[in-house]
Amino acid sequence: MELENRVAIVTGAAAGIGRAIVDRLARAGARLALVDRDAEGLARLAAALEGRRVDVLPLVADVAREEEMATAIREARTRFGQLDMVVNNAGVGVEKPLLDHDLDDFRRIFAVNLFGLFVALREAARIMIADGTRGAIVNVASVAGLRGSVGRAAYGPSKAAVINLTQVAAVELAPRGIRVNAVAPGPIATAMVQVMHRPETRAAWLRQVPQGRYGEPDDVAAAVVYLLGDGARFVTGHVLVVDGGFAAAGMLYDIAATAAAGSPADGRKGERGS
């Protein structure tokens, strides 16, 4: 198993893309520290993993709270005695017209998508450097962070900032043996996307994906595990797009127009993936 006995922390682990990442890491032999604010969902996931004889540590924490996130990182290092990999997956989103956004939308989304991610990255990197670990960090961004996306005035910029932070961290941490990359999912069949992509826009989204379908959480998980593994040992500062060709095709106007004219849809997923 490629990642046998390595220790990984995954935020937003209890559902969606996060859960798919956890499953892939478990199959690769990793020991797992799982962070989520959904205590019940986290407990169910941990029990299922223990039934598969996976060494797992569930950590209930809100990534938007700096001390909770920093404490979770330190607890994982204490429990396992090492820290090799971090997956910053937790995120929230909202889709509604620009003029319906307010600063609270920005504060809430940036607190999770960027600030919490930064705290996890910083604390993990400090531990890796102190331990002399050649670690790997993967941040879950979005194709919405690669270009303007109508209806996502707060979400898109938060993910663009994740991509920029990934590149900064990759350059600064490379001399210390730490790789930092990102994945940018497109339309993925998660609970959050089901809320953000309203029924009246869903057909237009599908027409814009050359592969003709929404991706599955495991599609993203496979990309994440690749970036964590030794096969990507010379890859850092990279953004791996996982979108069935969506970004390459460009956005259709009918999606944008429908989204801009539609009623607000708030897709909250707490710490449950992108």
Active site residues: 155
Q: Where are the alpha helices (DSSP H) in the chain?
A: 16-27, 39-51, 66-80, 103-110, 117-131, 155-173, 191-196, 199-208, 217-228, 246-249, 253-261
Q: How far is CA 37 from the centre of its chain?
A: 15
Place of tokens 């331990």: 131
Q: How far is CA 165 from the centre of its chain?
A: 14
Q: Please list, in sequence order, all residues whose beta carbon lies within 8 angstroms of the beta carbon of residue 258, skipping any fewer than 6 positions away.
A: 200, 201, 204
What three-state secondary structure class fits 32? Answer: strand
DSSP lists the bridge partners of residue 137 as 86, 180
DSSP, residue by residue, 104-163? HHHHHHHIIIIIIHHHHHHHHHHHHHHHT---EEEEE--GGGTS--TT-TTHHHHHHHHH
| 221 vs 80: CA distance, rounded Å | 23
